[in-house]
A and B are shown apart, each in its own frame.
Chain A
């Protein structure tokens, strides 16, 4: 059983360097446009920055995976093809893709470029993965976060494609790439524009001593001053159903599956991924170091327990969950 590859987010060149210096085996990043799923102001790379970053990473034995993982705009597919070309020119070790048309282009035009299937494609069955492998030569699949750990183990046994699983960071409660909640309220969504719950649709008002975050005008939560009001991501809000107010879709928790690393490793998971390209270099340095230490401990035959408390306080919303990896989540 080989070591698990630690894949960390890089929203900027500085964050890329911080991740690798803290122990990431690979980093993933995107170009500064709508072709990647973290299209936030101030994030991402120009083609020149990406080329320099790849060279810097390769000098240190690290890999760079380029996300071209939104769905191409009808009539505008050339922008996505250009991003694939830029990643190839930069010397990327792989590109991470979700769209069938973009996969087809990369497979045909850059046969030497390794293809990873983005979590945005939500390929959660052996059949779906087999289709992408046969049709486009996909070498690795990033699993949707709807599977339990035993289901992941069963899936790995049924496929020859490498499996990568998220283990830390923001948690989509919906099947990734199959959620239009954000665009229903705001007109912008991960699939359409690479943003979920976009900042320009967020407002925060204070009335009668209560703080009210809104998205596209819809009340997403309401808290007393001083209470923690997280960013109003739609699926983490509080809503009313059957007369009861609750975090109907998901509590404001963040994924931390460090305690499941041993199980994922035994299952044959090839790489584990940290979410959070938007969260900066201090974040990635701390998370990468903690997971590096935990993975190294596993390689030595030791437990990850000593490292599991290292990330306390870092989670968005301040609380952590093992999410769908534990079947009771459903």
Chain B
């Protein structure tokens, strides 16, 4: 395991981007980036799905033609019968899927391979083994877990691939309530999809103007941008087999290239952080969770 290359994966787009932006983004990813796997699918809000399903299907074709593995991701908090049907349909298919809500397991054929996404609550080896008996081949652990905790989990689950949430605003919470709508004085059912105004989420500051969080429809993310700048040997030792980069504005191709270089040992943790900053992330870099601290903390590699 320690000699194998660490994969680079692009997580599902969490934000409500326009069809044009989605098409341009994945065209560039397909043709100009060096990565192994791309997750596609609406994870946050089923109301967006009709508007993006076309562009995502085209992106899937394009990415597959470019040799990238495409994995479809399910919704994380199904809220309507239509949401539930969408999850059922995706889970019942034969291809590899990423599951983000337990309801998908009711429809997944036993033993059919799946990825357990970071929005599932898998915090320990006993829970991970439960999913492995049902077909789970890869786990992207919940972002709250420290690297040592992930290492203990991985060690107790031989054969389970571990994908670390390595770049992007941290997905912190899901709600039945839409905060984008609430800020605009709208109701979720008549939200006018106002979340499309904020391609990295809507800034939430404290009353003294300190940047803190970002809201994205029913989801709340961190303002800080997770950057897994730990020594690559430490990541390998913890059993990390893939690094997940979450799409944002800014130069994602540069972020992807930086993590590829880092995973291959060509870029030091310091160089990685410097390159990521140059790519225009939507907030300051954070990595506290990986060190077992508050997620907002930043402990630069020494």
**What residue in chain A is nearest B221 (Cβ atoms)?**
A184
Contact yes or no, B173 A174, CB < 8 A? yes
From A101, A145, A179, A246, B124 is in contact (CB under 8 Å) with A101
**Within the assembled complex, what's the spacing in Å between the Cα atoms of A146 and B296?**
27
Contact yes or no, A187 B207, CB < 8 A? no
Q: Which residues of the other chain, B, contact A307 by a CB distance below 8 angstroms?
A: none
Binary contact readout A104-121 vs B (1 if CB under 8 angstroms, 0 otherwise): 110000000000000011
**Within the assembled complex, what's the spacing in Å between the Cα atoms of A245 and B293?**
29
From A174, A187, A324, B293 is in contact (CB under 8 Å) with A187
Contact yes or no, A99 B222, CB < 8 A? no
Q: Which residues of the other chain, A, contact B205 by a CB distance below 8 angstroms?
A: 239-241
**What residue in chain B is nearest A327 (Cβ atoms)?**
B189
Chain B count of residues within 8 A CB distance of the other chain: 72
**What residue in chain A is nearest B178 (Cβ atoms)?**
A330
The segment from B19-27, B55-63, B180-188, B263-271 that touches chain A is B180-188
B84 at the interface (CB under 8 A from A): yes
Contact yes or no, A101 B78, CB < 8 A? no
Contact yes or no, B106 A174, CB < 8 A? no
A72 at the interface (CB under 8 A from B): yes
Contact yes or no, A74 B149, CB < 8 A? yes
Q: Which residues of the other chain, A, contact B127 by a CB distance below 8 angstroms?
A: 71-72, 99-101
**Within the assembled complex, what's the spacing in Å between the Cα atoms of A238 and B212?**
12
Contact yes or no, B126 A105, CB < 8 A? yes
B3 at the interface (CB under 8 A from A): no
B152 at the interface (CB under 8 A from A): yes
**Within the assembled complex, what's the spacing in Å between the Cα atoms of A216 and B224?**
15
Interface residues of B in 206-260 (CB under 8 A from A): 206-210, 212-213, 215, 220, 222
Most buried by A among B123, B142, B181, B182: B123
Chain A at the B interface: mostly helix, strand, loop or mixed? mixed
Q: Say yes or no: A330-B124 contact (C-beta < 8 A), given A128-B103, A180-B170.
A: no
B119 at the interface (CB under 8 A from A): yes
Contact yes or no, A240 B183, CB < 8 A? no
B277 at the interface (CB under 8 A from A): no
Contact yes or no, B222 A184, CB < 8 A? yes
B177 at the interface (CB under 8 A from A): yes
Q: Which residues of the other chain, A, contact B208 by a CB distance below 8 angstroms?
A: 219, 222
A-B contact count (CB 8 A): 212
From B107, B187, B215, A241 is in contact (CB under 8 Å) with B215
Contact yes or no, A239 B189, CB < 8 A? no
From A121, A245, A324, B102 is in contact (CB under 8 Å) with A121
- Least CB distance from A323 to B in Å reads 9
A77 at the interface (CB under 8 A from B): yes
A73 at the interface (CB under 8 A from B): yes
Contact yes or no, A101 B177, CB < 8 A? no
From B76, B124, B181, A99 is in contact (CB under 8 Å) with B124
A98 at the interface (CB under 8 A from B): yes
**What residue in chain A is nearest B188 (Cβ atoms)?**
A330
Q: Which residues of the other chain, B, contact A183 by a CB distance below 8 angstroms?
A: 144, 289, 294-295
Q: Say yes or no: A221-B145 contact (C-beta < 8 A), given A175-B175, A178-B121.
A: no
- Least CB distance from B159 to A in Å reads 17
From B102, B107, B152, B204, A248 is in contact (CB under 8 Å) with B204
B150 at the interface (CB under 8 A from A): yes
A192 at the interface (CB under 8 A from B): yes
Contact yes or no, A184 B177, CB < 8 A? no
Q: Say yes or no: A184-B170 contact (C-beta < 8 A), given A248-B204, A249-B179.
A: yes
A294 at the interface (CB under 8 A from B): no
Q: Say yes or no: A99-B126 contact (C-beta < 8 A), given A127-B103, A180-B170, A187-B288.
A: yes
Q: Which residues of the other chain, B, contact A123 by a CB distance below 8 angstroms?
A: 102-103
- Least CB distance from B142 to A in Å reads 8
B96 at the interface (CB under 8 A from A): no
Q: Which residues of the other chain, B, contact A245 by a CB distance below 8 angstroms?
A: 207
Q: Say yes or no: A127-B88 contact (C-beta < 8 A), given A183-B144, A185-B294.
A: yes
**Within the assembled complex, what's the spacing in Å between the Cα atoms of A40 and B209?**
31
Q: Say yes or no: A100-B172 contact (C-beta < 8 A), given A181-B213, A239-B212.
A: no
From B77, B107, B207, A178 is in contact (CB under 8 Å) with B77
**Within the assembled complex, what's the spacing in Å between the Cα atoms of A15 and B39?**
49
Contact yes or no, B183 A242, CB < 8 A? yes
Binary contact readout A218-258 vs B (1 if CB under 8 angstroms, 0 otherwise): 11111000000000000000111110111011100000000
- Least CB distance from A84 to B in Å reads 12
From A100, A127, A146, A330, B126 is in contact (CB under 8 Å) with A100
Q: Give 10 A-B contacts (CB < 8 Å), ordered by A residue.
A: A77-B126, A99-B124, A120-B121, A128-B105, A174-B173, A175-B77, A183-B144, A187-B292, A189-B144, A330-B176
